[in-house]
Structure 1
Amino acid sequence: MTQIPLVSHQRFAGTVDRIGQGSTSVKVADQAWNRIAGKQLEDLAFRAVREISHYLRPDHLASLRGILDDAEASANDHFVALDLLSNAVVSSREVLPMCQDTGTIIVHARRGHRVITDGKDRQWIARGVQRAFADLDLRYSQLHPLTTWTEENTGTNLPAQIHIELEEGSDYELLIMAKGGGSANKSFLFQQNRSVLDPERMLDFLREKIAEIGTSACPPYHLAVVIGGTSAEECLTTAKLASAHHLDHLPTKPGPQSWSLRDPDFEQELLRMTRELGFGAQFGGRYFCHDVRVIRMPRHNGSLPIAVAVSCSADRQIECRIDADGAWIERLEHQPEKYLPSDRHRNGQARNINLDQPMDSLLAELAECELGERLSLNGTLVVARDLVHAELRSLIERGEELPDWFKNHPVYYAGPSRTPEGYATGSFGPTTAGRMDSYVPIFQPLGGSMITLAKGNRSADVAASCGEHGGFYLGTVGGPAARLAQDCIVDSRVIDFEDFGMEAARAITVKDLPAFVVINDHGDDFYQRARKASLGARIPVGTSGGR
């Protein structure tokens, strides 16, 4: 009896480049088997990480150009798309990675049953990942526990997440991804039931859940929705693979190829819905998503897991394989400049803001700005993120005062990649604002965090605190970290907590750094206004949702 696979596999059919020798053929029981050396896996992983740190797929870049060519896109959609394309050009010089969060490396591999290795496949792949992070100007982001409550950076960006399946055949195929924290944190699982298996109810349910993703993971997104699954983890894994377009080959009707199906019609329905949310490409408009993938999977009759996942503007994945003819990698776009328009003028005027003025004067100037207004920041920012904020809270709990540098300057939530020789800094885009939300109501009454700068939406508590204490949250474009390092950051120096490494407190000098007024001193929130306009008084459907 033929076994139908849960999710069918298809060999990558796109354009590939040969980068090395193939496997060695050996005879085993009168069958041709392929021997693959561990060094081949290491070299393939190294090259893949280098590629995805600096280059993007042609389809992704073409989609960004499509936003620029769309007369119905908002001015802010155009602004973000142009910034992201410009960032791709800077990154393609292989000095500054496209995103400062160079990610957790995730490997999803299929090893043919007639492949011979030394059995240390994961170690060899991990060695290639480690070599890439050591040799390139990337960022070490992985922490390992010392106790349940304490941890330290591994200093290698290991461990990588490596999953290897056995398949029929004699090839070794790998999908290699780099997932930053912002994108990974927007993978959600909802345990639902049969009541939402209806087009209208499902659309209502997903409208609410997709809106909750917000802009923290750097849209425009490649959005994936998986309905069903034999387990929660299978549902989530499938969503991650679908967001990388790894499952585009799935059939649209039941058949012997696969138990799971794609639903192109509902994909288009969801894409239309995302364009009505109002978030746009981060600061209002239509382009919250590039595209949508919907996968329907088998399920236990008492369960209905639903997973939602995104691939962000740093759409970093690459298909690879080793076969008898060579080692191959997917061809990413090495000339992204061809997607730039001839007219690269940024639409609209931005208000120039001098950051090197007393905090009271700076707050008064921001009070004159409209919600959603575009700004151009010039002067000094201090940089502080998770570790520094936790230490400052401990300082307050000990009865000490916040340092002057934290009270006298706007705070940029960020952590750079390593600084290349001859540059003021490594890639230095914003991190997710929401991770620091709990600190704002603590610091603002004491004169800290009066102006914060980061990416994405924030909680109602932050808006309320800004309204009570006269603070502001400014959003900047998430994604163009290489361009910001090259064009906007003039100087960077550590000013406190030097032992925190890339999370040390810094002072940076910026010129023409773009920002938008997201929360003002009245507590008005740009994203909440957009969401309310979209959702209105809708009541979410579904009886047992949660995450």
Structure 2
Amino acid sequence: MRCVYAEDIEASLCNALQAASHTHPPDFVQALKAAHACETQPAARQALLQLLVNSKLSARARRPVCQDTGVVHVYARLGMDLRIRHAGAGPTPSLQAIADRAVARAYTEPANPLRASMISDPLGLRRNTGDNTPAVLHVELAEGDGLSLTVAAKGGGGDAKARYAMLRPSDSVADWVVSQLPGMGAGWCPPGVLGLGVGGTPEQAMMLAKRALFSPIDMPALRRRGPADATERLRLQVYERVNALGIGAQGLGGDTTVLDVKVLAAPSHAALLPVALLPNCAATRYVSFDMPADGPASFPAPDPALWHGIPDALPPEAGGTPVNLDTLDGREVAGWRAGQTLRLSGKLLTGRDAAHQRLAALLERGEPLPVDLRGRTLYYVGPVDPVAGEAVGPAGPTTSARMDKFLPRLLAETGLLATIGKAERSEQAVAAIARHGAAYLSAVGGAAYLVSRAITAARVVAFADLGMEAIYEFEVRDMPVTVAIDARGGVAHKVFRLHDGAR
């Protein structure tokens, strides 16, 4: 009987999570390069370039491609003839315990700390677990003595856009999928891959959709040879029809919204057609491997030639209007137009969900705020902790719509001038921005390490107990953004605005 040590499994999972945090799968980089080469829309082309530069720099620095380093999913295919042993004293830990130990090690690694996003007691105190545990573990028992593992770090932006429907057998799956994309908005940071689960039971369909994402991109080859069966026909139909919507990179309009469409199917009841949809974002992170015969698995870095032709920084021709945040006023903001690119320098504040709740409570009680927002710009971000030499760790934008219910009051009562985040805003937020002559700027989701290189200084100025959700003051130099909503209410995003409360 083959034996594998629990300690080797733990080390392998830890190594895989560290590698996935900073290095994209090679097929994903190649697909991004191809999308950038054929993109015809300037805003989307600029976003794709930022994603590629970020991918190159993150892999080189071994720092996360995105600040949301995800919920860890571990898929184990365990042979019935394999025995897992413990090298130390005491009983052999469960696979769940092994996975949790690996997550804790990977997310607290001093050389590359990852952001802990998992909270316990979701209906109560919602306390962060501190080390991103527990892992989400799925185990399949199989013949033989092998152990195959897939480790994925799934960010909140992708899972938040999950869709499920119970269709009739005569309904078109492609029609349903295409109908979902505009309402999903850009919070999943396109371009990415769509996973579809078809058939089975409701919970099986959702599992199939997620597992479908963990296979190499091969859409170019499929398009060249043509479909061989109904599954491949569905993949092609959805790919072509979704890209024809023109949503594009980051939802700013463009030729490529999805890089591939993956489908897994299972037998189902004759009267039912369960369908689930899950996207993989521009921070695609997964590793699949077989446990070696001896010792832990290792994950060597890809050949640097993978990023050949990608610059080490945004080139001067990427351009953008320079903006001094320290002297910014309403008159300058009024001159911006939706779709315009800017390069921000100076001081800005940060704040996301928890900080906004506290600010709102203070305003409700008529108490002073701990920071003066008048004339300031507020960035929706929860950064990764820095390592030596960094002002702050990877610090990409979070989904702005979560802050929409707070925005009208902040604009009306604090003199806040502009906000920065990712994806579209609700009708309520758009109206408030126009009413107060403010602006909303979009940074590229999935380009967090690139953004962090524009941050030259960072300090906590309020709510330090909130950790990554504290209010920071960043000093930035040439931070690239796009005007997503201008002071007149003009909107750059090519996706449906969210209706109030529908987020």
TM-score after normalising by structure 2: 0.89
1:277–1:507 distance in 2 versus 1, CA, 3 Å: same
1:423–1:404 distance in 2 versus 1, CA, 3 Å: closer
Q: State the partner residue of 1:30.
A: none
1:278 pairs with 236, 246, 259, which one? 246
Q: Name stretches of at least 5 consecutive residues in structure 1 with no aligned partner.
A: 1-32, 253-260, 534-545
Given the alignment of the two structures, is residue 441 of structure 1 paired with residue 408 of structure 2, yes or no?
A: yes
Residues 217 and 259 of structure 2 are in contact (CA less than 8 Å); yes or no, is this contact kept in structure 1? Answer: no
1:522–1:52 distance in 2 versus 1, CA, 3 Å: same
1:328–1:246 distance in 2 versus 1, CA, 3 Å: farther
1:381–1:148 distance in 2 versus 1, CA, 3 Å: same
Match runs of 1:229-378 below 5 Å: 230-245=200-215, 263-282=231-250, 283-324=252-293, 327-328=296-297, 333=302, 335=304, 338-341=307-310, 345=315, 347=317, 349-357=319-327, 361=329, 363-378=330-345
Residues 320 and 330 of structure 1 are in contact (CA less than 8 Å); yes or no, is this contact kept in structure 2? Answer: no
Structure 1 residue 266: Cα displacement: 2.1
Residues 108 and 176 of structure 1 are in contact (CA less than 8 Å); yes or no, is this contact kept in structure 2? Answer: yes
Given the alignment of the two structures, is residue 154 of structure 1 paired with residue 129 of structure 2, yes or no?
A: yes
Question: Which of the pair has more CA radius of gyration?
Answer: 1
Aligned residues: 480
Amino acid across the alignment from 1:170:
D
Q: State the partner residue of 1:124.
A: 98
Structure 1 residue 241: Cα displacement: 0.9
Q: State the partner residue of 2:226.
A: none
Amino acid across the alignment from 1:447:
T
Cα deviation per residue 1:19-75 (whole Å; 9 max; x = unaligned)?
A: xxxxxxxxxxxxxx21111101111111101110111111111111112322x5322
Amino acid across the alignment from 2:445:
G
Say which SS state the counterpart of residue 398 (structure 2) adopts: coil
Say which SS state the counterpart of residue 140 (structure 1) adopts: coil
1:329–1:262 distance in 2 versus 1, CA, 3 Å: farther
Residues 495 and 505 of structure 1 are in contact (CA less than 8 Å); yes or no, is this contact kept in structure 2? Answer: yes
Structure 1 residue 274: Cα displacement: 2.0
Given the alignment of the two structures, is residue 460 of structure 1 paired with residue 427 of structure 2, yes or no?
A: yes
Cα deviation per residue 1:382-412 (whole Å; 9 max; x = unaligned)?
A: 0001110011111122222445533331110
2:482 pairs with 516, 523, 528, which one? 516
1:163–1:449 distance in 2 versus 1, CA, 3 Å: farther
Q: Distance in 1 between matches of 2:408 and 2:290?
A: 51
Amino acid across the alignment from 1:185:
A
1:365–1:105 distance in 2 versus 1, CA, 3 Å: same
Q: State the partner residue of 1:227.
A: 198
Q: State the partner residue of 1:502.
A: 468
Structure 1 residue 430: Cα displacement: 0.8
Residues 85 and 339 of structure 1 are in contact (CA less than 8 Å); yes or no, is this contact kept in structure 2? Answer: no
Say which SS state the counterpart of residue 405 (structure 1) adopts: coil
Deviates more, 1:40-49 or 1:87-96: 87-96
Residues 53 and 102 of structure 1 are in contact (CA less than 8 Å); yes or no, is this contact kept in structure 2? Answer: yes
Q: State the partner residue of 2:225.
A: none
Q: Distance in 2 between matches of 1:97 and 1:349?
A: 26
Structure 1 residue 346: Cα displacement: 5.9
Q: Distance in 2 between matches of 1:277 and 1:346?
A: 31
Amino acid across the alignment from 2:364:
E
Say which SS state the counterpart of residue 144 (structure 1) adopts: coil
Q: State the partner residue of 1:178.
A: 153
Q: Distance in 1 between matches of 2:105 and 2:40?
A: 42
Residues 56 and 307 of structure 2 are in contact (CA less than 8 Å); yes or no, is this contact kept in structure 1? Answer: no
- Among all aligned residue pairs of Structure 1 and Structure 2, give the percentage whose two residues are the same amino acid: 31
Match runs of 1:353-432 below 5 Å: 353-357=323-327, 361=329, 363-432=330-399
Q: State the partner residue of 2:36.
A: 68
Task: Give the superposed CA RMSD.
Answer: 2.6
Say which SS state the counterpart of residue 151 (structure 1) adopts: coil
Cα deviation per residue 1:320-360 (whole Å; 9 max; x = unaligned)?
A: 211546654666635266333479736553111111125xx
Amino acid across the alignment from 1:78:
R
Say which SS state the counterpart of residue 309 (structure 1) adopts: strand
Q: Distance in 2 between matches of 1:484 and 1:333?
A: 23
Cα deviation per residue 1:457-495 (whole Å; 9 max; x = unaligned)?
A: 121111121122222111111111112212x10111000
Q: Distance in 2 between matches of 1:516 and 1:86?
A: 17
Given the alignment of the two structures, is residue 39 of structure 1 paired with residue 2 of structure 2, yes or no?
A: no
Say which SS state the counterpart of residue 466 (structure 1) adopts: helix
Q: Distance in 2 between matches of 1:247 and 1:430?
A: 26
1:82 pairs with 49, 55, 59, which one? 49
1:107–1:402 distance in 2 versus 1, CA, 3 Å: same
Say which SS state the counterpart of residue 452 (structure 1) adopts: strand
Residues 434 and 459 of structure 1 are in contact (CA less than 8 Å); yes or no, is this contact kept in structure 2? Answer: yes
Say which SS state the counterpart of residue 91 (structure 1) adopts: helix
1:464–1:208 distance in 2 versus 1, CA, 3 Å: farther
Say which SS state the counterpart of residue 99 (structure 1) adopts: coil
Q: Distance in 2 between matches of 1:221 and 1:347?
A: 26
Deviates more, 1:509-518 or 1:298-307: 298-307
Residues 61 and 339 of structure 1 are in contact (CA less than 8 Å); yes or no, is this contact kept in structure 2? Answer: no
Cα deviation per residue 1:140-178 (whole Å; 9 max; x = unaligned)?
A: 111112x83312111111111111111111100110001
Q: Distance in 2 between matches of 1:491 and 1:456?
A: 26
Q: Name stretches of at least 5 consecutive residues in structure 2 with no aligned partner.
A: 85-91, 223-228
Residues 434 and 458 of structure 1 are in contact (CA less than 8 Å); yes or no, is this contact kept in structure 2? Answer: yes
Q: Distance in 2 between matches of 1:411 and 1:181?
A: 21
Say which SS state the counterpart of residue 148 (structure 2) adopts: strand
Q: Distance in 2 between matches of 1:73 and 1:179?
A: 30
Residues 440 and 462 of structure 1 are in contact (CA less than 8 Å); yes or no, is this contact kept in structure 2? Answer: yes
Q: Distance in 2 between matches of 1:532 and 1:54?
A: 32
Residues 92 and 335 of structure 1 are in contact (CA less than 8 Å); yes or no, is this contact kept in structure 2? Answer: no
Amino acid across the alignment from 1:93:
R
2:177 pairs with 206, 216, 226, which one? 206
Structure 1 residue 440: Cα displacement: 1.0
Q: State the partner residue of 2:120.
A: 144
TM-score after normalising by structure 1: 0.82
